[in-house]
Structure 1
């Protein structure tokens, strides 16, 4: 069964990648219309999942991710489809052009990766996000949602399948939606047909997938993001950024989990308590080391930092706080303890910011702004398939560009290698760069 699913998706990919940008974008508009027309029905099914999650005492962070009705999430999901449809065609861009000889020209051209296997937990909007990005980029996709989002997943998948089958030129098998957990293990062995696995969910999910497949995996296991308050930081500005990074969406992988303060700030009771008071007013529990605890005016909402406090992703209104002696110590701590997702420095000294941005080995490095900006939509990517802490092939929020590879196209007119030096002949290559202002 899994082999059949993977093979059918691969066959659909061979057709999808040949469709025009207009045909692919029109399919997204059709999906948008189909989902919008049945919004009420979708939210009713989503409520069933929410009620079940509550009854089964699932974590608050998981329930927040599951909710499709809150904070305009449904409408944002639909708008994301249109945003992707409006993006420039990512296929067929020429990134290198070189004349090897008269009539023999080499082009490096962007091309889709192939078949994507996306396995996700909780977030039902991922179906729309991935479908839009996959179709626009010419990639086929196999999607597997978590059991906690089964009802929402089912209705969304039915609508997408119906739209593709009856209203578009995109092969219906270009987007495959599977429900069985047993099929996932078998799909992870289909490296002949599947080109990339993208897990979105808990660190245990990601780690399990990485350990059980030969297919390349794109994603991140944890979102342990850090903020460092430098000795020159503007405290009023810093407080706004810290509170937003923690409380805007605590369950997000880009929410800050650890706060490092320069020792001069930690020793300044006014500054330190200003930070603590703002977090306390926002309902945040701070997990602090002894040198921080000694300087706090109040212990309300304060707990001692445990042994794993700086290697832990809370995904809740909690944050670990400690003092560091210098900028260099902050960089060293982050490189050792963060998950290489997104880390930020708060400072008014550009030289310190530059050193931090160069020294921290994370996918996103920020200066004086909230870690919550680590998001494909906010980067202008339209939407994203996830955030990658890999260094190859894509890093950070992965949108259309991250779903593209490239091919070398060599266009000749009867040329053969035997005529050239190095292969038995006497002819020399020209190797002359020519214009890349072409599309294929």
Structure 2
């Protein structure tokens, strides 16, 4: 597709965004329910397309071009499709993020300022192998009143096309949803063209490696909300319930190792290492986890030594590095040195140690006595997520509906003039907060 065609697609999305921002919540929810129903009804075609993608990906795996983690993320089945449909319904069930009055302030009598939630506009997202990401992002965009430009990875091309067509056909049946609210692009040239459209695209949300997100940031003037790698840690403190700690550490690695909230490094305080490590290593090995440890770790268990770059690795597979540390402060230092600011967890019964770890760690999510796998938009009650932001601006952690909104100010007056509040005879502002919802021409005192 040419740059001109990409420009036409994005321009159509821009026009659709203006209309979608004013579509009633009931119509947006009806469209989401139509998407969920269509995914169930079209499951055979979706799974056939996905099977073709998986077959090609497995051939690439055999040639060493793809990882097993990528292939695992790519696969769909009937159960996964039902989960996707339920996720769409969960988004529909979320409170409407639009039109809420975030703040109301009286500037003077009958002069009232309202801060009101509105859509961002046109959002572009670039993501890799998981086909369910396309549905999550499209659903959240629709619910939040945003038009969306979708770019999936080539490894999921067939799956993405069928899912995209299913979504468009479903929403076309809901007359209030404008044509052009979602667009699918596929070629790298289209991405390059998209990066230059800062006059039409309001936000980019890349999901991938730090290098990939950095490339996007370095080659566009569009604001970027990056979803980068998840290099997550579990720290077992000296005051941990060791049985609980083993359960958490194993769940965080084994339950689904291919995702960004799976643990990659286990940290163990030295005073409990002799008791804790042999038992947890046995459990890991029974689950097929490849283990590597620091020199002190290998004093307690017979595993391979860590490699030079292991502390910086997001394995995305059944691999784990283990380090014995002196205390909670050493754990905090290690995490802040090597972590990706995604999700970290401490296991301890000592509230002071928990506070030291949780307040000392620079990450979007920090847990106490819980698996890192809970870092997820659905599990957080957000319905779904467009990604997990490891940055600190605009949105952080799992980005749901609120992360896809901004706000505008509405001022309601009654012939008020700035001149009244200037000069020697200036009237004072009241600047008084009050409880109230904005509606055109309405003052809180009426």
Q: Same fold (TM over 0.5)?
A: yes
- Would you say 1:54 and 2:55 are equivalent positions? no
User: Residues 232-285 of structure 1: CA distance to partner in whole angstroms, max 9, x if unpaired?
Assistant: 11111111000000001100100000111111123x2x3221121111112111
Map of 1:382 onto structure 2: 383
- Partners of 1:276 and 1:166 lie apart in 2 by 54
Deviations 1:20-45 (A, max 9, x none): 11111111112222222111111011
> Which position in structure 2 is the counterpart of 1:136?
143
2:22 alignment counterpart = 18
Describe the SS at the equivalent of 1:310: helix
Report how far residue 437 of structure 1 moved: 4.8
Once residues 272 and 51 of structure 1 are traced to their aligned partners in structure 2, the CA distance between those partners, rounded to angstroms, is: 39
CA distance in 2, matches of 1:392, 1:94: 22
**Are the aligned partners of 2:27 and 2:174 in contact in 1 as well (CA < 8 Å)?**
no
Aligned to 1:312: 313
Contact 1:418/1:425 (CA < 8 Å) preserved in 2? Answer: no
What does residue range 139-158 of structure 1 map to in structure 2 within 5 Å? 139-158=146-165
Find the aligned partners of 2:227 and 2:173 in 1 and give their Cα distance. Answer: 36
Shift in Å, 1:439: 6.5
- 1:45 has 2:46 as partner: no
Aligned partners of 2:226 and 2:213: how far apart in 1?
Answer: 8
Structure 2: unaligned runs, 5 residues or longer: 441-446
- Distance in 2, matches of 1:425 and 1:364, equals 52
Give, in whole Å, the separation in 1 of the partners of 2:403 and 2:75. 27
Residues 189 and 213 of structure 1 are in contact (CA less than 8 Å); yes or no, is this contact kept in structure 2?
Answer: yes
User: Is the partner of 2:180 in helix, strand or coil?
Assistant: helix
Question: What is the distance in 1 between the residues matched to 2:386 and 2:214?
Answer: 18
Aligned to 2:102: 95
Say whether residues 1:426 and 2:426 are aligned partners.
Answer: yes
The whole-number CA distance in structure 1 between the counterparts of 2:173 and 2:102 is 36
Alpha-carbon distance in structure 1 between the residues aligned to 2:291 and 2:175: 52
1:251 to 248, 258, 268: 258
CA distance in 2, matches of 1:53, 1:168: 38
1:122 paired residue number: 129
Q: How does 1:385-404 map to 2 (within 5 A)?
A: 385-404=386-405
Specify which of 6, 9, 12 is matched with residue 13 of structure 2: 9
Which whole-Å deviations, capped at 9, do the CAs of 1:338-358 have from their partners, x for residues lacking one?
A: 000000001111111111111
Q: How many angstroms apart in 2 are the aligned matches of 1:135 and 1:425?
A: 50
TM-aligned CA deviation for residue 425 of structure 1: 5.7
C-alpha contact 2:231 2:342 (8 A) present in aligned 1: yes
Please state if 1:411 is matched with 2:412: yes
Alpha carbons 2:226, 2:390 under 8 Å: kept:
yes
**Matched position secondary structure for 1:348:** coil
Alignment-derived partner of residue 75 in structure 2: 67
Instruction: Kindly indicate whether residue 287 of structure 2 is the aligned counterpart of residue 286 of structure 1.
Output: no
CA distance in 2, matches of 1:409, 1:226: 45
Q: Which residue of 1 aligns with 2:444?
A: none
Shift, 1:421, TM fit: 2.6
Instruction: Give a deviation string over 1:383-426, Cα, whole Å, max 9, x none.
Output: 1101001111100001111111111111112112122136x762
Question: Could you report, residue by residue, the CA deviation over 1:209-233 in whole angstroms, capped at 9, with x for unpaired residues?
Answer: 2222111111232100001111111
Aligned to 1:171: 178
CA contact (8 A) 2:235 2:331 kept: yes
SS at match of 1:91: coil
Look up the SS of the partner of 1:402 in the other structure.
helix
Q: CA deviation at 1:181?
A: 2.0
Superposed displacement of residue 73, structure 1? 1.6
Distance 1:304 1:216 in 2: 42
Between the aligned partners of 2:386 and 2:47, the Cα distance in structure 1 is 22
Report the alpha carbon displacement of residue 312 of structure 1 after superposing the two structures with TM.
0.9
Q: Which residue of 1 aligns with 2:443?
A: none
Task: Name the residue aligned to 1:201.
Answer: 208
Q: Does 1:265 align with 2:266?
A: no
TM-score w.r.t. the length of structure 1 is 0.95
Please state whether the residue corresponding to 1:19 is helix, strand or coil.
coil
- Report the counterpart of residue 104 of structure 1 in structure 2: 111
- Asked if the contact 2:228/2:389 (under 8 Å) is kept, the reply is no
Matched position secondary structure for 1:293: helix
Please report how far the alpha carbon of residue 82 of structure 1 lies from its aligned counterpart in structure 2 after TM superposition: 0.6
In structure 2, distance between residues paired with 1:172 and 1:247: 43
Secondary structure at the aligned position of 1:380 is classed as: coil
- In 1, distance between residues paired with 2:209 and 2:106? 49
Q: Distance in 1 between matches of 2:254 and 2:102?
A: 41
Unaligned 5+ segments in structure 1 are: none
Q: CA RMSD in A?
A: 1.5
Find the aligned partners of 1:203 and 1:60 in 2 and give their Cα distance.
20
| CA positional deviation for 1:433 | 1.4
